[in-house]
Structure 1
Amino acid sequence: MRKVPSTMATQHPDSATKFVPVREEPDEAVYSLKMPTQGLGCDEYMVDYMGKLTPYHQIGQIVLRLTQEKIVPGKDVFITPRMVSDFAEEPFRQFMTLFAVMEGIYYSISSTGEQGILEIVQAMTSTVEELVRCEERANNLFGIVEKELKIPREGKKLRIIPLFEGVAELLSTREVLTKYAKIASVKDYVRVFLGKSETALLYGHPASALSCKVALSDCQLAAEELGIDIYPIFGGGSLPFRGHICFENAKNFLEEYSGTRTYTIQSGMRYDHGSEKTIKLNEMIRSSIKKEATRFSLDERRRIVTSIMIFAKNYLQEISEITERVMMVARFVPDQRERILGSEEVRYYRELRDVKDLAAHCPDKSIAQVIEGLETGTFRKLPRVIKFTAALYTCGLPPELIGTGNALKEIKEVQGQEWLNSLLHEIFPSLINDIEAVTKYYSKGFLVTKKIAESIENLKSFATFHELDNKYGILVKAAESYIKDLEAGKSTTPSKFAIQIAPGEVSEYLGGSVSANLGKLILDLGKLRGSLG
């Protein structure tokens, strides 16, 4: 049986301290995969073609550089691309990604005899059959490369890693994996990618975390039913909203998301927290990973799903009041990687953001009716999750707080105090810790509507709110003045200025233009948090 990676370095643009151009990514990959004496000690590196401006020859470059370092891809470490999901809309981008994979495989087999690239991440498509067709397509191309370039292929094949994002998608994990394993005649193992971030963008922090926990439990049940191994990858960033995968929170997330076999180590962790903490985090995950998922009974699962729907409903109601303003701020969040496509230009994200699918999974008809009645058109225009998260934090409103207080109050009223106690202390014990970790970034700013203010007051019954961090508060005020002028349509005169944020510590904004100065403020706020978004 193959080695299962414990940590996967990714190309997410969530670092506040570093812009990474594509020309530096091969070096980044090698450094991420080298042993801690020379690198970070990650087991796997994801090359991302999902809306990102990644050169098609990048996989081959990484393979060649690894082999020069006497590191064998596919055996010592792993390179795993993520590709566009929709073949009907973007067939040539998918083909080009697959040919890029073949180039990497060719170089790897030629140099080491190992396949090099074993798997490709593909976001869940509308049908299980399309996942199987994608795997067939990849292996058909593999056959062409074998024939034309005379490489030995016996015993080698490419596999697909399905990516599940969204509450409805995560709650369908067991059903989909069971069907996929049977259609694809899987006899040994399946890796599956569970996405926390995009789910949080659409449904809020608690709903996304609980959905991932249910999916992890369901993966274990599916594995037992099928008689195969299922190895979940938990995709998350270092801020609580996106997974809270950081060294300081390692004990919590390893317990909370038990059953995960691979955790993503994104750019915010690697660059904003630094190499030393990243190496320690890699070592801690590798030594302390919990292979057994929390098991939920049918009754517990039904109750958890009802709680998920209550969290999601309240989040959707509150975020809908401020969506347009958040989108305006998000336009000024600097790109920290080179992208070519926004969320509206990728069919996968357009379909994922149809939140009406949520109601079909709701056990409570009255809650389902409220969800079905929501005006959800604006959600399809939301920016990608990192810009969305950065925009909310820049306005002094951590997204973890949105909808949570009102939802906890409603859960108590609808499901009872006993269930609420169980939810907070046994099922999702990290929730209050996650909330308390971000309260020092809450500034009662201009985004806080009456409904959101009420929700935050309710949340104070469950969590301790810390004083606003002084440095953070000063920079939020500066950003807020720019944002209010932009909203009012005022033509802000270009300016250069400096702010004293602490004795002997000055932040300078010398770009002159509104976009340059606001963009730097957004990055500086991200540095204080330890991640852009």
Structure 2
Amino acid sequence: MRENIPVTMMTQHPDSAQEYVPIQKESEEAIESLKAIPDGLGLEEIMIDFEGKLTPYHQTAQIVIGLIQNGMTPGKEVFVTPRVANANEETAFRQIMAFLSITETIVSAKEYNDIQPIIEVILPMVSSADELIEVKKRIDSVAKLAEKEFKMKKNKDLLQIIPLIEEVPELLNIDSIIYQFVTKLRDNDYPVDYLRFMLGRSDPALSYGNVSAVLANRVALSKAYKIAEPLDINIYPIFGGGALPFRGHVTLENIYNVLETYPGLKTITIQSGLRYDQPRTKLNELIKILNNELPNSKAHFYSETEYQQLYNYVGIFTANYLDAFFEIIPEVAELSDYMPKQRDRLARKSGVGYARDIARPEEIAKLVNIESIKNRLNKLNTDKKFALPRAITFTASLYSVGLPPVFIGTGRGLNEIKNKWGKSGLNEFLNNYPSLKADLKFASKFVNFKNINRFFNQKAVDYIEEDINFCCDFFDLDICRDKNIIKSDIYHMLMDSSLGVLFHLQKASDFSRPKEVELLENWLKEMGSIRGSLG
């Protein structure tokens, strides 16, 4: 039975506007974050990121040995949990190299104590149980090599896998993935009495829209807790959320909304934007709240009828989001390449990098039981080819031109629900997204109608203005009352200036103007600092 479930997980996401953290400083960063207050932040877990990132082979050992030398016990008091590459998206070689790094770290730590310092790994972009079993067997192969070469104690169950579910169709079918994974583990004589899994919040929002991501996470939590009962396992969900609303809105001001929206969470990520772009006093208070609240968080269970209605909602918001998404994504993808690089990640377009996959609305259509919604989803053209930006740069790019992405598809989706089911249907929907008004209210401060019109084509502008106007009507947001007034605060002045430089750079068609690129990056960072996170 797993004990000492971490409440807070520090990550290496590149979402901080104020702080560029090179790989040479990430070990020190991890140690300082896991140290107890007042010397550190008092976080309980570090996710070392090998996915899409230039993390050096030796970083796991540096962090583990550094924690031990600073009086902490990895694997018991604090936890080191690498996120390895998905072999289907990067290469099996990169994944195996991460496992070798972890194994070497386990062997090296034996010089200090007999506690295994790394006990779990996170596998991203999980789509099936078979994929998880394949990784489990790959870990076994590495363990056998370590037994032979390093005389490491034989261990058939060296590392547990934390599946990271990052797409809406997989989140909606998480019970099937969990059931098959656990039963196949047992069929292969692996003991299973608990399962930690991670819910993606940013990537489902990028591919399917903010509202669909929220509802899919709620469905996933309910289904996971339900399937845990017949499997006789304890589950411990991890929420991978950032500071801005489109990526989870994990901030001190909004934390009780997060806890209400996602009941049953046991761990929440504390990403770079939250650590570097928010006041330390606020972060300390947030951590205190999580330590008090998460251990007692209880799941909410839906009925089959409620699941079906949630699928219909997801279908509506996905369709409305993608209508606008396909109109804006070429410009946003290009703009994302100018976003400041705050960690040493693999390039979006390179021989060893990868981009996110386009949405699969036809998979949502299979769950919808209203023919008009089903047909609309199936007719969406997803054959368009582009290398999607990562969720952080996507979010940062849209904020930088005055379009917080939480609005995209939301207003039209709300209006469609009202037209289909009336006020009672709208209220039922809002009960399933209790923090929507708070998310929109925060984001509304950064809307700039003038720049939206400057940057996007007319069809995109029509969708976006509809979305924002309907949101204004439903939640009495004040942004529409002065939409024609030129905002003169520092944020909007920086936005206007940034767009001017960007248009000039685009005419040059490259990055051959280093002074202008540097100026643009500085202004983009300043805007990120004002809103509390780069993306």
> Normalising by structure 2, what TM-score?
0.91
Contact 1:108 1:116 (8 Å CA) reproduced: yes
Tell me what 1:440 maps to.
445
Q: How many residues align?
A: 515
1:158 is aligned to 2:159: yes
Tell me what 1:471 maps to.
490
In structure 2, distance between residues paired with 1:374 and 1:193: 29
Q: CA offsets, 1:151-194, max 9 Å, x none?
A: 34569621111110111011010111011110011531011111
Per the alignment, in what secondary structure is the counterpart of residue 103 of structure 1? helix
Amino acid at match of 1:367: I
In structure 2, distance between residues paired with 1:326 and 1:440: 20
Of residues 195, 208, 213 in structure 2, which corresponds to 1:208?
A: 213
Percent of pairs identical after alignment? 37
Q: CA deviation at 1:359?
A: 2.7
- Residues 410-421 of structure 1: matches in 2 within 5 Å? 410-421=416-427
Tell me what 1:297 maps to.
303
What value does the CA root-mean-square deviation take over the aligned residues? Answer: 2.3
Tell me what 1:504 maps to.
none
1:236 is aligned to 2:237: no
Tell me what 2:68 maps to.
67
Tell me what 2:532 maps to.
530
Q: CA deviation at 1:3?
A: 1.1
Contact 1:63 1:116 (8 Å CA) reproduced: yes
CA change 1:82–1:379 in 2 (3 A) is farther
Alignment gaps of 5+ in structure 2: 454-460, 480-486
Contact 1:125 1:348 (8 Å CA) reproduced: no
Amino acid at match of 2:380: L
In structure 2, distance between residues paired with 1:234 and 1:441: 26
Give the number of the structure whose residues are more often strand, by fraction.
1
Per the alignment, in what secondary structure is the counterpart of residue 369 of structure 1? helix
CA change 1:31–1:225 in 2 (3 A) is same
In structure 1, distance between residues paired with 2:346 and 2:192: 38
In structure 1, distance between residues paired with 2:225 and 2:335: 41
Tell me what 2:433 maps to.
428
Q: CA offsets, 1:353-395, max 9 Å, x none?
A: 4444333333333222222222224475221111110000000
In structure 1, distance between residues paired with 2:11 and 2:301: 29
Contact 1:397 1:442 (8 Å CA) reproduced: yes
Of residues 512, 518, 521 in structure 2, which corresponds to 1:519?
A: 521
1:319 is aligned to 2:319: no
Task: Say which is worse superposed, 125-134 or 484-493, in terms of deviation.
Answer: 484-493
Task: Say which is worse superposed, 445-454 or 49-58, in terms of deviation.
Answer: 445-454
Q: CA deviation at 1:248?
A: 1.4
Q: CA offsets, 1:63-91, max 9 Å, x none?
A: 11011012110101101111111259612
Amino acid at match of 1:314: N
Contact 1:354 1:380 (8 Å CA) reproduced: no
Amino acid at match of 1:66: L
Q: CA deviation at 1:126?
A: 4.7
Tell me what 1:178 maps to.
179
In structure 2, distance between residues paired with 1:62 and 1:378: 42
Amino acid at match of 1:527: S
Q: CA offsets, 1:314-349, max 9 Å, x none?
A: 111112211111112111101100012427867985
Q: CA deviation at 1:280?
A: 1.9
Q: CA deviation at 1:301?
A: 1.2
CA change 1:138–1:18 in 2 (3 A) is same
Tell me what 1:392 maps to.
398
Tell me what 1:138 maps to.
139
Per the alignment, in what secondary structure is the counterpart of residue 9 of structure 2? strand
Tell me what 1:340 maps to.
346
Tell me what 1:459 maps to.
471
CA change 1:529–1:353 in 2 (3 A) is same
Task: Say which is worse superposed, 367-376 or 68-77, in terms of deviation.
Answer: 367-376
Amino acid at match of 1:254: L
- Residues 497-516 of structure 1: matches in 2 within 5 Å? 513-516=515-518
In structure 2, distance between residues paired with 1:97 and 1:32: 22
Contact 1:84 1:93 (8 Å CA) reproduced: yes
In structure 1, distance between residues paired with 2:8 and 2:47: 11
Amino acid at match of 1:273: Q
Alignment gaps of 5+ in structure 1: 495-511
Contact 1:344 1:381 (8 Å CA) reproduced: no
In structure 1, distance between residues paired with 2:405 and 2:488: 17
Q: CA deviation at 1:143?
A: 3.0
Q: CA deviation at 1:198?
A: 0.5
Tell me what 1:167 maps to.
168
CA change 1:251–1:491 in 2 (3 A) is closer
1:407 is aligned to 2:413: yes
Per the alignment, in what secondary structure is the counterpart of residue 319 of structure 1? helix
Contact 2:23 2:344 (8 Å CA) reproduced: yes
Contact 2:355 2:388 (8 Å CA) reproduced: no
1:450 is aligned to 2:455: no
Q: CA deviation at 1:265?
A: 0.4
CA change 1:343–1:284 in 2 (3 A) is farther
Contact 1:343 1:382 (8 Å CA) reproduced: no
1:51 is aligned to 2:63: no
Of residues 488, 495, 504 in structure 2, which corresponds to 1:485?
A: 504
Q: CA deviation at 1:460?
A: 1.0
Task: Say which is worse superposed, 347-356 or 238-247, in terms of deviation.
Answer: 347-356
Tell me what 1:506 maps to.
none
Tell me what 2:93 maps to.
92
In structure 2, distance between residues paired with 1:343 and 1:303: 39
Q: CA offsets, 1:4-51, max 9 Å, x none?
A: 110100000000000000000000111111111211111100010111
Q: CA offsets, 1:220-239, max 9 Å, x none?
A: 10111211111111101000
Tell me what 2:483 maps to.
none
Contact 2:358 2:382 (8 Å CA) reproduced: no
Tell me what 1:364 maps to.
370
In structure 1, distance between residues paired with 2:212 and 2:139: 35
Per the alignment, in what secondary structure is the counterpart of residue 277 of structure 2? helix
Per the alignment, in what secondary structure is the counterpart of residue 345 of structure 2? coil
Task: Say which is worse superposed, 276-285 or 162-171, in terms of deviation.
Answer: 276-285
Contact 1:343 1:350 (8 Å CA) reproduced: no
1:255 is aligned to 2:260: yes
Per the alignment, in what secondary structure is the counterpart of residue 238 of structure 1? coil
Per the alignment, in what secondary structure is the counterpart of residue 320 of structure 1? helix
Per the alignment, in what secondary structure is the counterpart of residue 111 of structure 1? coil
In structure 2, distance between residues paired with 1:391 and 1:491: 18
Per the alignment, in what secondary structure is the counterpart of residue 474 of structure 1? helix
Contact 2:126 2:166 (8 Å CA) reproduced: no
Per the alignment, in what secondary structure is the counterpart of residue 46 of structure 2? strand
In structure 1, distance between residues paired with 2:421 and 2:177: 29
In structure 1, distance between residues paired with 2:311 and 2:63: 42
Per the alignment, in what secondary structure is the counterpart of residue 237 of structure 2? strand
Contact 1:343 1:383 (8 Å CA) reproduced: no
Per the alignment, in what secondary structure is the counterpart of residue 336 of structure 1? coil
Per the alignment, in what secondary structure is the counterpart of residue 233 of structure 1? strand
CA change 1:223–1:347 in 2 (3 A) is farther
CA change 1:188–1:527 in 2 (3 A) is same
Tell me what 1:15 maps to.
16
